[in-house]
Amino acid sequence: MLGHEDIKVIVVDEGDEDIRRRNDEILADVAHEYYGPREREEWFRKRFGSSFEKYFRLIPERCHAETSFGFLRAYEDEADVIIELDDDVYIQGNFLEAHVTNLFSEGGVTVHSAGKWYNTIDNLFLNTEDRIFPRGHPYMPPCREEDYIWSDNWGECVLNMGLWSGQPDLDALTIIYHGGLDGKSRILSEGLKREKIIVGEGTYFALCSMNTAFLPKIVPAFYQLYMNFMDVDRFDDIWSGVFLKKIADRIGDKICLGKPIGFHDKRPRNIFRDLRREANGLEMNEIIWRICDEADLTSKTYSDCYLELANHIEKSVDRWFKEAMQIKFWRAQTEKMRIWVEVTDEIA
């Protein structure tokens, strides 16, 4: 069993002191630190001096991708395991132990997909018979065919994605179609089917990082891409998950999903604003995983493979993307991917 002395909470927030006072009460028994924009800037200043702005600009403002900073702090602290938890996911029972068990146990079952994508929501019992796909799962038909091959190839993993009861992680189009004009659809998750599914080599999945545990060794290749940028948002964990899966496959490490279940109590929100932010990324989402999939990686470490992948993407954007905005977007992302490796090298 994990005790409070084994846990440190890093809160990445917007610096609201009223919210922090409430969080101090919730986290009274656990060591915790707050990192809003001011604290993040101070952190980069201390480590990079007069050149800090180049690195500070890795972290966007007021979007989910700010969690990248929490990964840096945990990496610097040499954490044994890093767990990301969003503020609308509620946990209970042996939540931490379940993550650790999935990472380090030899159990599980492996899935491969002929269409190269596994639908993570297939591992949930839903209140509907409709086939539902998660946010970030490509729309192209081969990726949406349930053509899976299961095997008993199990083992330890470098990342475990926990799933959810309550609201699944859906994109804005799906939520609107299923009556979610307030951001909360009628689709509900009622529980988990399999406790540990290893996603096989060459198969991708939509990584939602709101309930995820991973080993620090992957941090140099797990930058949550720069979002709230050029009218694109809500693809940071999706695309970072695709890149990580490609690299883990190259290195020979495994990634899994399943337990623990967290209750996702999604708050009402402007779903049309989400739709606008996702719309500019939808076409790129159909393409970027294929660019990643065709990369021929030869390196043996996460940081070196990440640099290889950044170079491959940069060289491929003119061939795959036709709009100037998309080319500019991915050139900016690949530059930040390289800077991310500089930061992780510096603090390792």
Tell me, what's the pLDDT at 2?
57
Decide: 190 and 126 in contact? Cβ < 8 Å. Answer: yes
Decide: 215 and 302 in contact? Cβ < 8 Å. Answer: no
Q: How far apart are CA 289 and CA 283, in angstroms?
A: 11
Closest CA to 122 of 152, 151, 144: 144
Tell me, what's the pLDDT at 5?
77
Cross-strand partners of 84: 212
Supply the DSSP symbol for 275: H
Decide: 31 and 54 in contact? Cβ < 8 Å. Answer: no
State whether residue 11 is helix, strand or coil: strand
Tell me, what's the pLDDT at 1?
52
Residue whose structure tokens are 């053509």: 147
Low-confidence residues in the chain, pLDDT < 50: none
Q: How far apart are CA 256 and CA 264, in angstroms?
A: 20
Tell whether omega for the bond before 260 is within 30 degrees of 0, i.e. cis: yes
Helical pair 302-320 and 236-251, crossing angle rounded to 10 deg: 120
**What pTM does this model have?**
0.97
State whether residue 189 is helix, strand or coil: strand
Helical pair 324-347 and 271-293, crossing angle rounded to 10 deg: 80
Amino acid at residue number 155? G
Cross-strand partners of 261: 163
Q: Which residues have a Cβ under 8 Å from the Cβ of 6 and sit 6 or more positions away?
A: none
